[in-house]
Amino acid sequence: MARPTAITATELERTARLDYSLRLLNELSTSALHVPVEDFLNQAARSVCEFFSVPVCVIWSVNEDRSRLRIIATYGEVDDKYKQVELESVVVQPEAFHRSTSVYSKNRGWATAVTTPVYVDNQLIGMIELCALQPREFQQWETE
């Protein structure tokens, strides 16, 4: 006789998020094959906002000599002055998820700004910054 399986609300939410993330990844991978790089990056920024329920996403890329980061895509209200900001790549924290205390973020009214570095073959290639207008604590599954 089989035992009934109890599914908690947390497990249901996790399953729903996994399903949603797989759909977003499928859309992005299909898009990567058919649209210009700039359009793909902007779509990726939009998808990240949707997935994490934040109004702003900024995608940064390392320059050729690996010394600086510059913004290559955004979604949400990001002013032109912020889009011109360049950061030294050494300021990127190695942790997978870092709460930002950037003056740049605070001056834009973003109450919560978090960044995560993006690595390929142990080389920093960029970072993704998520910004919220209200203070927000990210759940464990969002930071893993």
How far is it, in rounded angstroms, from Cα 24 to Cα 35?
Answer: 16
Q: How confident is the prediction for the chain on average, in pLDDT? A: 79
* Dihedral sign computed on CA atoms, order 142, 107, 55, 120: negative
Beta-strand pair 98-99/123-132:
unpaired
What local confidence, expressed as pLDDT, does residue 94 receive?
59
What local confidence, expressed as pLDDT, does residue 55 receive?
92
Q: Specify the length of the chain in residues.
A: 144
What local confidence, expressed as pLDDT, does residue 75 receive?
93
Residue 72, pLDDT > 90, answer yes
How far is it, in rounded angstroms, from Cα 43 to Cα 73?
Answer: 9
What local confidence, expressed as pLDDT, does residue 101 receive?
52
Residue 63: strand, helix, or coil: coil
Total number of domains constituting the chain: 1
Structural domain includes residue 142: no
Structural domain includes residue 17: yes
Which is more confident, 64 or 101?
A: 64
Structural domain includes residue 105: yes
What local confidence, expressed as pLDDT, does residue 57 receive?
92
- Domain limits for position 78: 9-136
Share of the chain above pLDDT 70, in %: 76
Structure confidence by residue, pLDDT tens digits, 86-131: 888 665 655 555 566 565 666 777 877 788 888 888 888 888 888 8
How far is it, in rounded angstroms, from Cα 93 to Cα 113?
Answer: 14
Confidence grade of residue 3 (pLDDT, cut at 50, 70, 90): low
Structural domain includes residue 28: yes
Structural domain includes residue 113: yes
What local confidence, expressed as pLDDT, does residue 65 receive?
85
**Cβ atoms within 10 Å, residue 114:** 20
What is the pTM (predicted TM-score) of this model? 0.75
Residue 113 burial (10 A CB sphere; 0-12, 13-18, 19+): buried
Instruction: Read off the CATH number of the domain in which 111 is found.
Output: 3.30.450.40
Structural domain includes residue 2: no
